[in-house]
């Protein structure tokens, strides 16, 4: 039987990535497959006993092994894996000190002609392969007792072990690994070789966190349809319907298995796992599985296409890497070794930089690439419209905000700004003072928003600076935050991405509007319906059009806007607990100016809303105007918010902590104005 085949080198845990993610039916079947377990974690050499009894016979394996043809000597080290027919060992060339993974197969285990034929076939197929993402075949030899196959040593074991430790992987990691699997698999298919046993236990990770496809014990040449093999072989949870129905193996069967792999990486369990093998096979034949709401639409769509019941409906390998799942999300260039056991902490610049390379490729890679992107996007738009409504409930991991590695010992230092000592004023005069500042700047307009909408960038900044300075110069000292706290509805920035070295600055508002202030000064917003675009070529001049029917001159910028939107939606966490409020009566916000210092990010909007995010503790200050009254909201390090009238702070004062942040915010605003 093909199921009872000889083991190939694969650092898997008995062919199952964890007891929780593989059902009992899978474990029993994989034990029948004779898969290897892998316990090696490093290249550290370990002295072994002089000889070892093989579990399947009386043959002893010496610690020092000599190739009878070349005379080269090897030192057998620790066991990396074992199965029904062989064991895999760490083995060191005593001449070069190069470490290999050596599969050692006793002759007694392959005594029958068909058994030896399988080993010879595996060697024949594997030895001709040479690709960065394929486990490298180095050499094989045999002596009187054993056959020795020397393979590339992968010190970080297999994806099965990583998922066992991690339970699930993040979308950026899945893209990282899938790209490498697709690369290796494309090479195999170009050589007209089918793998036929793609699974987590057959993807090995080397010291540099590069993925290698291995275990070619079931690999076969691609045959014409009428001559294809119709035997059932592989791992039960990853078998395709056509294989179960004995219709033959093709490249599409490997694509199906890849869909199962992607599903398992994202959700921690195979899509067709059940409590018994018969039920698993029934679900596979019917292509019956669930797609949880925790998956974003691009991931759902890609999995669904790969797991199409009809092989002809499945995407090609090229289609897979051009899918929105890859185009609309970043892929890290490298992963740290810590990803083997902990969730990665992506830094500020490199993931975003790599991610937006995809935008450049889509925009400037030629007309064909651009047309392909929009064809794909338009095709998915209707299908995903309802699913997109669910994604705001998802839990996300922030990667653009700086990680809190430790609490800073000192407070944020006041900027080099001269602030007058509090003057002795009566409460009435203090309130009148700040109101007079506002009225004197805004004149007779009915609201600050109306006036600022038509004013220049400088006057908006000057207005906010006057209000904030007036409060700081006149409010008294206070040891704590005032008791008065308001419930207010206003828009503020919940997420942001700085990619100004190529495109511009992107942000998401609390009503889920996404905006980009491009490097050329133009601004574009994608409204919460994900269909409508507002374009501001100059302050106050707005053009409105559909995201799917953008004028030709705006196509590039709309594409970048969508990339920003998907990136923030999938990867960033909201910055506080303020409710998301949409008030259609208020003018649409768009960003006028932004500034980053070594401690904070400042953002100024067209209606005078002014926000400063402090990096080290993720605190935020938001100043906005409602009903001709300025409000200040402070979001603390626990992401909890409190809102005050500025007139209240003017009369009562505030804590030194908040005052320092207000002073720093004013200094940033004045620097931008200058």
What HEC string does 66-102 produce? ECCCCCCEEEEEEEEEECCCCEEEEEEECCCCCEEEE
Q: Are 148 and 224 in contact (CB under 8 A)?
A: no
Q: Which residues contact 222 (CB under 8 A, 6 or more apart)?
A: 189, 192, 193, 194, 250, 251
CA distance 536 to 364: 23
Q: Which helix (H) or strand (E) holds 394?
A: none
Cα 616 to Cα 152: distance, rounded to the nearest angstrom: 44
Asked if 286 contacts 257 with a C-beta cutoff of 8 angstroms, the reply is: no
Cα 450 from Cα 453, distance rounded (Å)? 5
Strands 193-194 and 73-82: unpaired
Distance between CA atoms of residues 124 and 334, nearest Å: 33
Q: Is 596 annotated as a binding residue?
A: no
**Catalytic residue set:** 197
Tokens 């005032």, residue?
A: 482
Long-range contacts of 611-617 (CB under 8 A, 24+ apart): 611/492, 611/493, 612/661, 612/664, 612/665, 612/668, 613/401, 613/493, 613/496, 613/575, 614/412, 614/661, 614/664, 615/401, 615/402, 616/402, 616/404, 616/408, 617/404, 617/407, 617/408
d(CA 331, CA 171): 9
Helix 555-571 with 171-190: angle, nearest 10 deg: 110
The closest alpha carbon to 617, from 632, 633, 599, belongs to 599
256/254 Cα distance (integer angstroms): 5
DSSP state at residue 129: -
Cα–Cα separations (whole angstroms), residue 136 to 125, 294, 621: 12, 37, 56
CA distance 567 to 552: 24
Pick out the residues of the known binding site for ATP. 112
Pick out the residues of the known binding site. 112
């Amino acid at each position: 039987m093909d199921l009872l085949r000889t083991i190939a080198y694969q650092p898997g845990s008995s062919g199952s990535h964890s007891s929780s993610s593989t059902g009992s039916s899978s474990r029993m079947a994989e034990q029948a497959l004779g898969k290897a377990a892998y316990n090696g974690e490093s290249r550290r050499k370990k002295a072994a006993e002089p000889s070892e009894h093989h579990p399947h016979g009386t043959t002893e394996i010496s610690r020092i092994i000599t190739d009878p043809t070349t005379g080269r000597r090897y030192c057998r080290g620790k066991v990396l894996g074992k199965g029904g027919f062989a064991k895999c060992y760490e083995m060191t060339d005593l001449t070069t000190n190069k470490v290999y993974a050596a599969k050692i197969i006793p002759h007694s285990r392959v005594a029958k002609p068909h058994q030896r034929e399988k080993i010879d076939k595996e060697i024949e197929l594997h030895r001709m392969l040479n690709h960065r993402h394929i486990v490298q075949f180095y050499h094989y030899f045999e002596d009187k007792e054993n056959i020795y196959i020397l393979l590339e040593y992968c010190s970080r074991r297999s994806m099965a072990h990583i998922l066992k430790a991690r339970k699930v992987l993040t979308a950026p990691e899945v893209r990282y690994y899938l790209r490498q699997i697709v690369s290796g698999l494309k090479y195999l298919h170009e050589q007209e070789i089918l793998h036929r046993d793609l699974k987590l236990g057959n993807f090995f990770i080397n010291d540099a966190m590069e993925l290698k496809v291995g275990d070619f014990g079931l690999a076969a040449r691609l045959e014409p349809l009428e001559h294809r093999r119709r035997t059932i072989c592989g791992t039960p949870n990853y078998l395709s319907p056509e294989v179960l129905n004995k219709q033959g193996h093709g490249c599409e069967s490997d694509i199906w298995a890849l869909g199962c792999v992607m599903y398992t990486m994202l959700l921690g369990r195979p899509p067709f796992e059940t409590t018994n093998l018969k039920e698993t096979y029934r679900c596979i034949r019917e292509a019956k599985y669930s797609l949880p709401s925790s998956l974003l639409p691009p991931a759902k769509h890609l999995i669904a296409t790969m797991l199409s019941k009809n092989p002809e409906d499945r995407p090609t390998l090229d289609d897979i890497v051009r899918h929105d799942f890859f185009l609309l999300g970043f892929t890290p260039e490298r992963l740290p070794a810590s990803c083997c056991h902990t969730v990665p902490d992506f830094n500020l610049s490199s993931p975003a930089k790599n991610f937006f390379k995809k935008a450049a490729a889509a925009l400037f890679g030629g007309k064909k690439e651009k047309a392909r992107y929009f064809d794909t996007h338009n095709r998915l738009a209707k299908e995903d419209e309802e699913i997109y409504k669910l994604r705001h409930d998802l839990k996300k991991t922030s990667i653009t905000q700086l990680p809190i590695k430790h609490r800073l010992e000192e407070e944020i230092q006041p900027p080099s700004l001269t602030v007058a000592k509090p003057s002795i004023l009566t409460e009435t005069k203090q309130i009148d003072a700040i109101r007079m500042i506002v009225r004197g700047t805004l004149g007779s307009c009915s609201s600050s928003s109306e006036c600022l909408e038509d004013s220049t960038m400088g006057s908006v900044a000057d207005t906010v600076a006057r209000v904030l300075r007036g409060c700081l110069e006149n409010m008294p000292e206070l040891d704590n935050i005032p008791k008065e706290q308001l419930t207010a509805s206003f828009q503020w920035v919940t997420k942001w991405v700085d990619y100004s070295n190529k495109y511009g600055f992107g942000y998401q508002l609390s009503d889920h509007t996404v905006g980009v202030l491009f490097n050329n000064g133009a601004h574009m917003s994608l409204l919460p319906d994900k269909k409508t675009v507002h374009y501001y070529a100059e302050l106050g001049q707005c053009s409105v059009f559909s995201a799917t029917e953008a004028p030709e001159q705006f196509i590039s910028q709309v594409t970048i806007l969508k990339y920003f939107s998907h990136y923030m939606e999938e990867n960033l966490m909201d910055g506080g607990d303020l409710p998301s409020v949409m008030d259609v009566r208020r003018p649409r916000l768009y960003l006028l100016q932004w500034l980053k210092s070594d401690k904070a990010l400042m953002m100024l909007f067209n209606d005078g809303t002014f926000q400063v995010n402090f990096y080290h503790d993720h605190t935020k200050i938001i100043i906005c105007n409602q009903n001709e009254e300025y409000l200040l909201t402070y979001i603390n390090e626990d992401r909890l918010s409190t809102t005050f009238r500025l007139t209240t702070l003017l009369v009562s004062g505030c804590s030194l902590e908040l005052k320092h942040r207000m002073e720093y915010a004013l200094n940033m605003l004045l620097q931008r104005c200058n």
